[in-house]
Chain A
Amino acid sequence: MNNEIIYSVIAIGIGVLMVIMAVIAILNNKLSVAIVAAGVVSLFASVLFLLMAAPDVAMTEAAIGSGLSTLIFFYVLNKIKRQNA
């Protein structure tokens, strides 16, 4: 029972952090900060999946959601910056 309370507290804390990061990703004027914030949302989501006993989904989310897609966003951002310069 005690463990359950600790788990819920951690899960709610991660959820609040995810919402904060998502708001940063939307409202920040610097695109690179927004991309990193969106990646952090995915990273927290993967921790949350792990707490919900779904390690398969957590691995996918950590590798693709916060790793590869963040990198692709950075590639595209770099390309756009160079074309506008």
Chain B
Amino acid sequence: MLRNFLIALVLASFGFIFYNLYNSYEPHTELTGIAAHYAENGASEVGAANLVTAVVISYRSFDTLGEITILFLTAAIISFFLKLSKEDEEKVIIHRGTSELLKTASQLLVPIMFLFGIYVFLNGHLTPGGGFQGGAIIASAIVLAIMANPNMTINHSVIIWVESLSGVSVVLIGVLGILLGGGFLDTTLDGYGLGEFGTIFSAGTIPVIYSLVGLKVGAELSNILNMYQKSQKEA
């Protein structure tokens, strides 16, 4: 009785808070402050047709570096907790037999999904999407391949090398920004140029950084899913 009353009290106070928040909310009719600066000067300063990418990779690239680090930590912690012993490696996954439809469809769809993921992160500065989305699409393709063939193994050293090399390269390009640009992780380097607005070779180093981020995120997410898949093994 008392418990239900307390729950109702908490819900009512939350409702009161959110109602007040909703009531006092007045939408801005025009951009203000820093948002207006991004919208007006984003195209000329950074050269990215997709303004979201300009903010994520250039203006707020330090946040993105933090996100990459968090994802790396997550992958490391998951592989630490799902660590398999030598005996487990030899076990196989018992499954009820994959359906013919899934097998045939995965052969057709996996290459297309890979290509689409690569397209999304290569065109991150022109169309919606970018490194994180493209990496997630690549990981989805690998999931489909794993589901069609549950005992498939992914070459672990390839994943580790792709992940570490792209991570180091992102930071190195960031350091290049100190030497040739306006500061750490600046995407407009001297002598590199912005390129023609709206083409694939534009927006300074954004396509390079986003491709590296896409490879890194794809490798990490694939690694996480591969770990979970391996944890299903039984004698």
- What is the interface of chain A, defined by CB distance below 8 A to chain B? 55-56, 58-60, 63-64, 67-68, 71-72, 75-76, 78-79, 82
Task: Give Cα A23 to B232, complex, Å.
Answer: 30
Known: A56-B52, A56-B130. A68 touches B140 (CB 8 A): yes
CB distance from B186 to the nearest CB of A (A): 22
Interfacial chain A residues near B228, Cβ < 8 Å:
71-72, 75-76
Q: B129–A71 contact, CB under 8 A?
A: no
Nearest-neighbor residue (CB-CB) of B135 within chain A: A63
Interface residues on B, range: 20 to 34
Query: Which of A56, A64, A75 has the most B CB atoms < 10 Å from its CB?
Result: A56
Q: B143–A71 contact, CB under 8 A?
A: yes
Interfacial chain A residues near B232, Cβ < 8 Å:
75, 78-79
Known: A59-B133, A68-B225. A82 touches B120 (CB 8 A): no
B170 within 8 A of A: no
CB distance from A42 to the nearest CB of B (A): 13
Overall SS of chain A's interface: helix
Query: Which of B133, B139, B225, B232 has the most A CB atoms < 10 Å from its CB?
Result: B133
Interfacial chain B residues near A67, Cβ < 8 Å:
136, 140, 143
Q: A79–B231 contact, CB under 8 A?
A: yes
Interface set, chain B 134-155, CB cutoff 8 A to A: 136-137, 139-140, 143
Q: B132–A60 contact, CB under 8 A?
A: yes
Known: A56-B52, A56-B129. A63 touches B234 (CB 8 A): no
Interfacial chain B residues near A56, Cβ < 8 Å:
50, 52, 128-130, 133
Q: A64–B234 contact, CB under 8 A?
A: no
Further pairs besides A68-B136, A76-B228, A79-B232: 17, Cβ < 8 Å: A55-B129, A56-B52, A56-B128, A59-B129, A60-B132, A60-B133, A63-B133, A63-B140, A67-B136, A67-B140, A68-B140, A68-B143, A68-B221, A68-B225, A71-B143, A78-B232, A82-B234
CB distance from B173 to the nearest CB of A (A): 22
Query: Which of B120, B140, B234 has the most A CB atoms < 10 Å from its CB?
Result: B140
Interfacial chain B residues near A78, Cβ < 8 Å:
232
Interfacial chain B residues near A58, Cβ < 8 Å:
128
Q: B120–A59 contact, CB under 8 A?
A: yes
Known: A59-B128, A75-B229, A75-B231. A68 touches B133 (CB 8 A): no
Interfacial chain A residues near B136, Cβ < 8 Å:
59-60, 63-64, 67-68
Interfacial chain A residues near B231, Cβ < 8 Å:
75, 79
State the 5 A-B residue pairs at the shortest beta-carbon distance, nearest first.
Answer: A55-B128, A63-B136, A75-B228, A59-B133, A56-B52
